[in-house]
Chain A
Amino acid sequence: MSELAAILARELAAPPAGEAPHLAPWADGLRERARQDFSRNGLPSTRVEAWKYTSLRGLERTIGALGALPAETGPEAPPPLVDGPRLVVHNGQLAAVQGEVPTGVTITDLRTALANDREGLREMLESLPTDQPADGFVALNSADLGPGVLVHVAAGTDAGRLLLQWCSGPSAAGRLCNSRVCVRLEPGARLELIEQFEGEGAAEHCLNAVTQVHLGEQAELAHACFQQWPRGSALIALREIRQAAASRYHYTGLDAGASLVRHDVRTTLAGPGAGCRLDVACLGMARAHADNHLQVTHEAGDCASVQTFRGVLAGRARAVFNGRVLVQPGADGTDASQSSAGLLLSPHAEIDAKPELEIHADEVTASHGATVGQLDEDAIFYLRSRGLDVEAARQLLTMAFCRPVTDAMRPGPLREALSARLDAALQALGSPHG
């Protein structure tokens, strides 16, 4: 076990005095099991297949303690990415609910929710395994279960938009904060959930966030994430989504900051006619490392899934894309597609793309395509021949490269805001000083 894991395991075993959370017995049991799993497995090493490209050595240098921290009042949350009600999470803890939350939507501090069993929370939390070596961060998160939030949307409610702002205060420096977000949409409910990871805060900190989503029949969740944290910070995010029949899930992820990013997005299409779309754009510069693992499990028949990955890397940045489609026996009529493309702006940048299709059913349509390359010189010349300088031509083409990710979103203020952020980030990436 690494030194960092040993430190974290010790802290979990001896929580600071005076902070005995009043949790339901099942929640205590879950924490304890996860703590044992973490003590046994620690954090995943590169010998674990799912973590083979992602070394935690940088994290070990910057992180030295668990961030069992109170929510801080400052610094201020960054300007909201879009208007609407928002949840401000500081150091992993729910700090504020701002704006008017629509009828039918319930926001509960996770610690409060854990004191009893609300809205099927127990079932949701217990469904997440923590016992495998690859699950190190999940085990760590579950062992420290408490900080976070539960979002519940009643059946048939169109909840509109909810913004979740992740902030870290100066006291988070050198620490790893755990947080859990649980989202349950009852049948026919709709929500647009936006996670914003932005702002100065503590540069050298790590957020280990686990988001669990349950979508009832015909429920729809549009889930967007924009991350532009300062260099030196780290984000480990797991999203586990379970979809009932005819539900829709659309994930749009944009990463343009931090030094270490790991995203796991795992969707299970559990009811017939469900559909999901996982679209990710990943921008890296300097020595940034971003590892994206997307996984769709087709359990039921007649479900459709799409995965799109676009990586743009400059400097010595590295991105990993692992796109997995698993079609279980009986999931006939599955339609799964995947496309990944990487753009290398520097000879020292690197992309490792690994599509994995595993099909155990009949009448399945599955396609995948992967490319990695540089900007098209003919296209650059074409643009220059019309008056754009080299820099502008390259920028235009780089923006176009990522366009499929934002184009797939529903037109509206969120798409506009994300497109603008993406373009600005690409501009910074492409500039010679980037």
Chain B
Amino acid sequence: MLKITDLHARVAGKEILTGLDLEVGAGEVHAIMGPNGSGKSTLANVLAGRDGYEVTAGEIRYQGQDLLELAPEERACEGVFLAFQYPVEIPGVNNTYFLRAALNAQRKHRGEEELDSVGFLRLVREKLQILHIGDELLHRAVNEGFSGGEKKRNEIFQMAVLEPQLAILDETDSGLDIDALKVVAEGVNRLRSPERAIVLITHYQRLLEYVKPDAVHVLAGGRIVASGDAELALHLEQQGYTWLEEGGIAAVGSAGAA
């Protein structure tokens, strides 16, 4: 599904990713953890194709294609979804209108018929119900005046409607109360399927109590320094990230490999 090889990326002239390797197969959920400044968000933004994130070396293959060759909207239409760490407020654009335009753009790209407003509303209500999200967010402008939790719920709601092949959640769990966290977890678990891949970028282990990852990676200094199973996340939770820098990494690395 996704294969990143020796990825180097710069932001504002500063090298943030320094040779990142990552492979995520279909049907898998991977968690990427790491301290602040390790390059987590840079990875998310490079995957989504944001301007200002310059890839200087390496490659990203997504379903056999060169992902870096695709414009952000082409990536979305090919099934890549990024849940933003800081969802953007767009006054004047109705949430429902926007989401329908997005879904229909993707359907058109795939050669599918566009959904009319009745069909779309049916789909939307079904998703809201599954995720236990109230329908008031349908009538509001995109993220405008939303609380932090509402914004994150809206990201998950969009993800549920768009049904991506590869979902990347950039610290979607940060700053959430337990109810909102459960919505995020529910969204991820509902999306899980043998054809889909999910990358959870997170600072904390908390989300992983509700979403069991197939693999956990530790990102530090712009590359993956350790990989393992869900146990690795627990380990990090107990020991903290400072322990990484103090050389604990070698032990974990071998544990992960074992």
Contacts and interface: CB of A to CB of B under 8 A. Distances in A.
Contact of A399 (B49, B92, B105): B92
A124 interface: no
Interface stretch (A149-157, A269-277, A365-373, A387-395): A387-395
Contact of B76 (A379, A386, A397): A386
B73 A382 contact: no
A399 B90 CA distance: 11
Interface string B32-76: 000000000000000011110000000000000000000111011
Nearest to B97: A396
A382 B88 contact: yes
Contacts of A393: 73
A387 B162 contact: yes
A401 interface: yes
A383 B141 CA distance: 13
B102 interface: yes
B202 interface: no
Given A389-B105, A390-B73, A396-B93, 6 more contacts: A384-B49, A385-B81, A386-B73, A386-B98, A387-B105, A397-B90
A19 interface: no
Contact of A396 (B84, B101, B158): B101
A54 to B, nearest CB: 29
A195 to B, nearest CB: 25
A3 B101 CA distance: 54
A382 B87 contact: yes
Contacts of A232: none
A388 B77 CA distance: 9
Range, interface on chain A: 20 to 34
B235 interface: no
B73 A396 contact: no
A384 B90 contact: no
B102 A388 contact: yes
Contacts of B75: 385
B156 interface: no
A378 B91 CA distance: 13
Range, interface on chain B: 20 to 34
Contacts of A403: 92
A20 interface: no
Interface in A191-240: none
A404 interface: yes
A377 B51 contact: yes
B105 A388 contact: yes
A14 interface: no
A386 B106 CA distance: 8
Nearest to A377: B51
B92 A400 contact: yes
A393 B142 CA distance: 13
B9 interface: no
A399 B50 CA distance: 23
Given A392-B105, A396-B98, A396-B101, A384 B92 contact: no
Contacts of A381: 50-51, 72, 88
B72 A385 contact: yes
Contact of A386 (B49, B51, B92, B102): B102
A387 B73 CA distance: 4
B109 interface: yes
B17 interface: no
